[in-house]
Structure 1
Amino acid sequence: MSRCREYASAFLSAASSLGARSALSSNYTLATANSASSSSSSSSAAASSSSSSSSAPLRTLQIGPWKVERASHNSSGKHVSIWSCDKSSLVAPTGALKRDPHAARRLEKAVETLKKEAASLSRLRHPCILEMAEPMEETRSVITFATEPVTASLRQAIAASASNSSAASTSRGSDRRNGSSFSSAAHNTDLELDEVEIQKGLSQLAKGLQFLHESAKTIHGNLTPEAVVINAKGDWKLSGFGLSIPLFGPDGVATNWEFPEYDHGLPASVQRNYDYIAPEYILDEANPTPANDMYSLGCILHSIHTHAGPPFHNRQSLANARTNVEEGLVRGMVRPQWRRLTEEAQSALGQLVTRYPNQRISAAGFLAHPYFSSLLVSTLNFIARDAFASQSTEAQTGFLKGLLNVLPRFSDKVNRRKVLPSLLEETNKTHLIPFLLPNIAYIGQRMDVDAFRAEVLPHLIPLFKIKDPPQAILALLDSLPLFSEKSTPTSFREEVMPLVYYSLESDNPVVLEKALKAVPSLCETLDYTVRRDELTVKQTLFPKITTVFTKTTMLSVKVNTLICFHSMTSTLDKFTITERLVPLLGKIKTKEPAVMLATLEVCSKIGDKVDLEACESPKFWNLASQLLPQLWRWSMGPLLSADQFAKFMSVIKRLGHRVETEHTKALQEQKRLEESTSGGSLSRGGGGSGSTPMDFEALVRGGAGLGRAIEVAADIFGDDIPRPITPTSSSKPSYTAPRPNYPSLNSTTINTNTLPPLVPNSSSFSPPTNPWASSTLNPPTLGMGMGYAPPPSSTAAPKQWDVLQPKVVAPPRKPNHGDFGAWSDFDPLK
């Protein structure tokens, strides 16, 4: 007794699930409801695994004695399910253990069953058997291993499908007696099964059993809904091999029958379920055969379709099993329960749920049954990886063409879990891209943004840089609206826009036209409140389109580039428009009406956007001196019709009127400024600025001298009217300015010393004998011109001198466009 307690106490130590001693805990991180969304996109290497599992529930599952949790690898990001079982949960509590002399034996038996289950998963490798990701690890208190991501058991999916039916209570009661709870799964609509999923899943179970029976020479021995799990892709996988039986021993002799003893001291999950065991095994003591598993498969089929569990509820009693088999199978009382099922399902049940094994069909026979002959199931079987790879290229393309008509008949869940992953796996074959993308787009249209980015986009991004075949690029460009709708602005700019850039560099004119036609819609979807989107158009997209515009010789491509310019005008800044786009349009040589009218639309939009801020503005100058003359020249094209010419004239008149209005306004404003400046100079009379000294203190304090300072600053060259010569005092001035050299008409300097004597003509006043004798040259006075002061002794100024007087050359006056008359009189072709 003491030895028993010592042995049991070692197994009943405190549980330390995934403690520091476990390699799984050091290599994997358990996913939680809060962190799962971020871990699903933590690594591009795990895109394939995360893509199919993003929609899976992240709650902790209870499958038999196992607690199943989602986890991801710390380095690769690969997603797995961690299966762990606390050994203390396999036996009664400590208080009862002291009174149970068989507790240690029972615990040992349960642990051996779980270890056999994990070892069998490592040994059996098949697409329809649960895939082991990390081998089993055992500590004193916990058994753990890792498998591919799992979303639920089949029992939980059946309960979810039956949650709204009257038979749900019976099914739940039976499962509660088997020691598991599924209340959370019953409310999870994502686990509900439709007919296509059921047929596809049962076919996968049949393939797995066929492998077990024919290749592994093993029977499952306890095939129940709890032993079937559904992975993240929606595939049904066999598991729960803890009670499996080899058909032959090491010596090649058939395995003998063993009584399926049921121990109420052990959990039901580690024992055979009498409700799913074949009658010949439990009643006739026959050696195990593959037919035993086929009977269990028939019970699963019955449980799925009727939502009432297996055909019989034996309650782990041999007597009940014998009675139910006698009444239900021998007398046929169970068949009326199947009347509401389809004929194919009734026929399949009739060949699986039988009293004797020789009446049962094999796994291969079940796969050939008409139950699986529906078009939808055949479609899913064809698109499976191995089946699709074995087909010829012609068969593959033909299937993908017709698949688009079949997809609406599948549920969204089947399309996303079963069809989409298979399609994405084939995207590495570029010759299939034109046929794959329409199907992918149909499914992706029904996905939310996050799911599309996680599941679909990572597989398509590598395709955005391909150059051949052109049909693949065209198919990708056709899907641009979908990419725009299902991507965030940042994701679209960084991940999808390269597709357009590479397409614009293509040598194929069809690809070029398709890419150019996609640009206007892209310009509408880009968010120009974001600086990066604006720079994307200005610095990347616009230069690539201008390159196409300058190099192409095809009329259709040229027109499409002009359409792109028209859509981008609202985005480009005014400098880019006036300094790059307008000169580019001016180089058009063709006279084709399509090009001319497209250019007219671009010019019309440019004219509406460019501000005519001032007559010196480059924007105004390009519009008035380049754009309008170009429009006039294009309007006279010999290929234009009368209506097309009228369109040109409408735009020319509208833009011309705008130029006239804006420039007239600018000239009038300039005239007012000139009048205000000259008026301030004339108001000072002829006294000059030197007559009123400027008060420095008043100037800096903003007094009366401020107005004078403004006038002086505005009239730095003085009056245009020559000042009269005024006398100066006899004393020499402190400063004498040099005589200025005024340019003559022939740009030469006149030497007055070489001139002949001055003789007045008959019509002039007699000048003084020597008018320069008593005078000196005064320095020019600011604001009064560059004249000379008269000598003090002069009493009257002469009216005219017969000498060559120096002339002040006025600066050239800016032309007044008003001199040309109305805008309609202006001929830009002169």
Structure 2
Amino acid sequence: MDYFHKFKSTVSQVAAQVSNALPGNPLTREYDVGEQIGTAGPGLHWKIYSGKKKSTQQPVAVWLFERRDMDKWSKEDKEEFINTIKKGVSTLTRLRHPRLLVIEHAIEESRDSLAFCTEPVFASLANCMGKRENFANDPIHFTEFAFHDLEIRHGLLQISEALAFLHIDARMLHRNVCPESIIINDRGAWKLGGFDFALQGTPAPNNSVTFDSMEYNENRPAVCQPTLDYLAPEYALGGKIAPFADVFSLGITTFAVFNKGLVPIKYNGRLDNLKRNADKFKSVPETCMQNIPFALRDDYKQCLNYTPDLRPDATQFTKIAFFDDPLVKTLSYFESLMQMDNQQKMNFFKSLPQVITRFEKRVLIQKVLPFLSGEFTTPDLIPFILPSVFIITEQANQKEFTSSILPSLIPVFSLQKPYQIVLLLLQKMELLLAKATEEDIKKYILPLIYNSIGSDTTRIQELCLAIIPTIGKLVDRQSMKTQLLPKLLKLATDGSVVAIRVQALMCLGKLLPTLESWMVTEQVLPVLPKINSKEPGVLMSILGIYKLSFESDKVGVGREQLAKSALPFLMATLVENTLNLQQFEQFLALIKAMMGRVEKEQRNRLQQLSAGEEAQRGVPNFDTIAGAAATGGGDKKISADLADIMGGAAIAPKPPGGALSLEEKKRLASEQNRNGAGPMNSGSSLTPSTSSMSRVSPTPASTSKGATSMDPFDALLMSSTSSMTSSKPSAGPVFDMSQFMPKNDPMPSPSPSSFFPSLAPPPSSTPSNLSLGSLPPSQSPVPPSMASLLGTGPSMNTIPSMGSGPSMGTVPTASNPLFLPQPPRSSNTPIQRGGVSSLDSLLSFPSQSKAPMNMMGKPMVPPSTVKPQSNSNNPDPFADLLG
């Protein structure tokens, strides 16, 4: 059971909250209800809430009466009160006048409440004078609230104009003019409402109107009758009821306004008290005049006259001297703007700034500003209105500016014509930036500046350039990249006025601390050399940007950009005739500073490279090679070093005259065979060094110490012929040169030993005429996979010598894997060499102190210490080339 009671209690609380928020009235289907802002009507039973229409978001005031407020009333009183307030709303709905409260939605009734909507309101006059009954919480906007003299003057004028309309045009009596029936809207205008006891007149002869008399009944609830303290004496004493009765009520209301809600005589809801004190109004006591302004006293006393006919009518009351005030007339002039043409409005707005400074701030915001912003729909009038708006902005604080002034200016920010609009806004940009929040600046004001930079008006461009440095920190990264910087750079490069170019460059310089480094190096600095202007102001502004960028640790301009872009431009600008001596010195100082940084950074960078990295980047020291040749190393050392460069491949030196043709080679071979000469020296050999050696060796392979690696192809040959090697010399395969000789040459084919004595094979048990191809597959030293490498000639024992590889007819040994040709020991005939290699031209490179390196960055194998025998009659072909 306890759980059930708890559940029931929770459901009741939620239902009560929903009932308070949405009382079930049909009005809530179309309107959103906000916080309570006031109370009004008989007994202040109408609760006024702020609200908005759901479909249009139009602000309204929602009036709500809850039936539960009458729980202690009798049934008859409930019905009478409901009928009274429903009648008042229905009567007001049918009437339309600027001085009457505007009904936006007719009354809606539900089981729990009655509700209707009006124009947005501030509060009732009773609330403003301290009566706060039927409030859930005391609203903040009533804190330290007090009327200004101008508000009272204009408010009483407006109520008297409303009564004049009722009496003359509507032929109606209000019968309840009191603070509870006067509503102040959100613009500060006093509106007449509370038509619960209004009485329609009856036409009479002579175009007159008669009104039925009313008797006040003390037995009825006070809320179902007019407020007794504000009624004219004739209501209690009997007699003719006329519109002068409403004027009397207006006089009592005037007294209450100047006396904080008090009335001259309080009747406490008893009619007999009114009858006993009615004679006091035959002569208004001086106590009723103490707080009344002197200019109003005479007319005020006339309104409270005991005799109705001696009171002024509502129209006469609107013309009293109390309302003859420049500020009141200005407010009245605002209300008649709709009846003027544009020229009349322009003349009025031109003279307005001279008067507007005399208004109080709340009057300006509540009364004046709405009229001014209402004319923003006409662009031609805006330049005449903005000066007055700026005066109001100066008096407002940031909250008031954000909530009241800025919303009316937002549509104006997007207008570009007439150009005076933008000009005025930019002139007062400092004021706008001071009053607006950072969020509003980014959302509304910065786009105005972006759009204004591209204006054709020079003055607008100047104002924008003066403003931009102050808002640089508020510009986000994307907007700076795509909106602001491109437009500033365009002004600097394409501006038609020199002053604009200079200001654009100065603006860029002031923005540098707020820019990211990549924006400066990628967007700003590359554009500077493209500026064609040679005026000193432009050039010095460019120099300033370079100097700030160069000295800024945040930007960090690199040496490459300095060397490739900045320095060439500055050097070319240095000799411009438009610069004076002082400006020239400034350019020169910056150039020297940039050169110093480039030199320092590049030297440090080169010094930080390691020895291995430097070796990989550099070329071999050919001076060392040349030096070795000059001291006796000869062409053998050069060939060895070149072989290292090329990765171990032998390069045959060529004579300076050019490469030998095939016929010349054959002719030389025939001469050697005919003369019985020894083997060719290394200078004319067409066979490369062994693959296991990194350079050409002039000594036999058996004495070479530089064999550290072996070419895979040579290793394959060694493995294929290992079975053929022996400790004793054996006859090798026959090397037939006849196929390379001309057919008409009668010279017999020499044996291989006649050309290459050093290649004579050692004796072996293998038959001399045995070729590689004659062995059976099981005994062949050459694997089957080598068939494609060795070729498919007629006989494998006749393998010609290749200029780019070892001789296929040479049989390697264990100590000498591949015999190299030996240089001749004596010869009187100069050795003919081949053509000059393209790599020979590299020999002219300067020498290096380090040891020669091959292409893989490794030290080359030292050359053999065995010096070849030289003959003075056989000059070195490289002697002339190496000097």
Q: Give the TM-score taking structure 2 as reference length.
A: 0.68
Residue 609 of structure 2 corresponds to residue 670 of structure 1 = no
Question: Does the 8 A contact of 1:582 with 1:622 survive in 2?
Answer: no
Task: State the Cα deviation string for residues 356-406 of structure 1 (Å, max 9, x = none).
Answer: 12221222222211111222222222223xx12334545433433443344
Partner of 1:147 in structure 2?
Answer: 118
Q: Distance in 2 between matches of 1:520 and 1:201?
A: 47
Which of 181, 192, 195 pairs up with 2:146?
A: 192
**Does structure 2 conserve the Cα–Cα contact (< 8 Å) formed by 1:223 and 1:296?**
yes
On the 8 A contact 2:25/2:114 being kept in 1, the answer is: no
Shift of 1:744: 12
Alignment partner of 1:278 is 2:232: yes
**Equivalence for 1:261:** 216
Could you list the per-position Cα deviations for residues 559-618 of structure 1 after superposition, in whole angstroms to 9, with x for gaps in the alignment? 2222232233334444443444334322333332332332232232232348897xxx9x
Residues 713-738 of structure 1: per-residue CA shift (max 9 Å, x gap): x579766554975899xxxxxx9965
What's the CA shift for 1:422? 1.2
The structure-2 alpha-carbon separation of the partners of 1:449 and 1:261, relative to structure 1 and needing over 3 Å to count, comes to same
- Alignment equivalent of 2:107, drawn from 121, 136, 159: 136
- Is 630-639 or 501-510 further displaced after alignment? 630-639
Where structure 1 has 5 or more consecutive residues not aligned to the other structure, the ranges are 1-13, 33-57, 94-102, 160-171, 528-532, 682-713, 729-734, 759-766, 814-830
Offset of residue 302 of structure 1 = 0.7
Alignment of 1:359-758 (within 5 A): 359-384=310-335, 387-391=336-340, 393-449=342-398, 451-523=400-472, 525-526=473-474, 533-609=476-552, 619-641=558-580, 645-673=581-609, 675=611, 714=616, 721-722=624-625, 738-739=649-650, 750-751=659-660
What is the alpha-carbon distance in structure 2 between the residues aligned to residue 80 and residue 250 of structure 1? 40
Evaluate the alpha carbon distance shift between residue 259 and residue 485 of structure 1 in structure 2; reply closer, same or farther with a 3 A threshold: same
Q: Kindly state the Cα deviation for residue 318 of structure 1 after the two structures are TM-superposed.
A: 3.3
SS at match of 2:188: coil
**307, 326, 333: which is aligned to 1:356?**
307
Quote the residue 2:241 is aligned against: 288
Q: How does 1:307-346 map to 2 (within 5 A)?
A: 307=260, 309-327=262-280, 329-332=281-284, 334-346=285-297
Partner of 1:5: none
1:222 to partner: Cα distance: 0.9
Structure 1 residue 791 displacement after superposition: 2.0
- Tell me by how many angstroms 1:741 deviates: 8.9
Distance 1:658 1:82 in 2: 73
- Secondary structure in 2 matching 1:262: coil
Match of 1:28 among 2, 18, 31: 31
For residues 421 and 152 of structure 2, the distance between their equivalents in structure 1, rounded to whole angstroms, comes to 35
1:764 match:
none
Partner SS state of residue 31, structure 1: strand
Query: For 1:92, what is the secondary structure of its paired residue?
Result: coil
- In structure 1, what residue type is equivalent to 2:474? L
The answer to whether the Cα contact below 8 Å between 1:291 and 1:360 also exists between their aligned partners in 2 is yes
Q: Which letter does structure 2 place at the counterpart of 1:518?
A: I
For the pair 1:809 / 2:780, whether they are aligned, the reply is no
Distance in 2, matches of 1:87 and 1:428, equals 44
Q: Which residue in 2 is equivalent to 1:789?
A: 697
SS at match of 1:184: coil
Alpha-carbon distance in 1 for matches of 2:51, 2:181: 22
Query: Equivalents in 1 of 2:390, 2:26: separation in Å?
Result: 42
CA contact (8 A) 2:38 2:123 kept: no
AA aligned to 1:72 is K
Q: Which moved more, 1:313-322 or 1:232-241?
A: 313-322
CA distance in 1, matches of 2:392, 2:440: 20
> Matched residues in 2 for 1:563 and 1:407: separation?
39
Shift of 1:297: 0.8
Mapped to 2, the partners of 1:744 and 1:445 lie a distance apart of 97
Q: Distance in 1 between matches of 2:498 and 2:343?
A: 37
CA contact (8 A) 2:518 2:555 kept: no
Contact 2:402/2:436 (8 A) holds in 1: yes
User: Matches of 1:301 and 1:389 in 2, distance apart?
Assistant: 30
The one-letter code matched in structure 2 to 1:770 is: N
- 1:260-317 superposed Cα distances (whole Å, 9 cap, x missing partner): 3233452x3331222111123332x233222111111111111111236122222233
Structure 1 contact 538–572 (Cα < 8 Å) conserved: no
Q: Which of 689, 696, 701 is the aligned partner of 1:778?
A: 689
* Distance in 1 between residues matched to 2:397 and 2:692, nearest whole Å: 83
- Structure 1 residue 484, shift from structure 2 partner: 3.2
Work out whether residues 652 and 686 of structure 2, in 8 Å CA contact, stay in contact via their aligned partners in 1.
no
Superposed CA RMSD in Å reads: 4.2
Greater mean alpha carbon deviation, residues 716-725 or residues 461-470 = 716-725
For the residues of structure 2 that align with 1:114 and 1:592, how far apart are their CA atoms? 81
Give the AA of the match of 2:333. F
Q: Where do 5+ consecutive residues of structure 2 fail to align?
A: 1-15, 640-645, 670-677, 705-821, 825-829, 847-883
State whether residues 591 and 639 of structure 1, in contact with CA within 8 Å, keep that contact through their aligned partners in structure 2.
yes
1:783-807: CA deviations, max 9, x gaps? xxx8533323899999x99976853
Task: Work out the number of aligned pairs and report it.
Answer: 676
Contact 2:650 2:689 (8 Å CA) reproduced: no
1:92 is aligned to 72
Q: Are 1:17 and 1:86, in contact at CA under 8 Å, matched by a contact in 2?
A: no
Q: 1:744 to 1:83 in 2, by over 3 A?
A: farther
- Per the TM alignment, residue 147 of structure 1 is displaced from its structure 2 partner at its CA by 1.3
CA contact (8 A) 2:81 2:223 kept: no
The one-letter code sitting in structure 1 at the alignment partner of 2:365 is R
Equivalent of residue 246 in structure 1, options 179, 186, 200:
200
Shift of 1:227: 0.7
Cα distance between partner residues in 2 of 1:60 and 1:439? 31
**Residue from 163, 171, 176 that aligns with 1:209:** 163
Q: Of residues 294, 302, 305 in structure 1, which corresponds to 2:258? A: 305
What's the CA shift for 1:757?
A: 9.1
**Residue 774 of structure 1 contacts residue 791 of structure 1 at CA under 8 Å; is this kept in 2?**
no
Give the aligned residue type for 1:788: V
1:638 to 1:318, Cα distance in 2 relative to 1, 3 A: same
Distance in 2 between residues matched to 1:611 and 1:253, nearest whole Å: 89
- Per the alignment, in what secondary structure is the counterpart of residue 138 of structure 2? helix
What TM-score, normalized by structure 1, do the two folds share?
A: 0.72
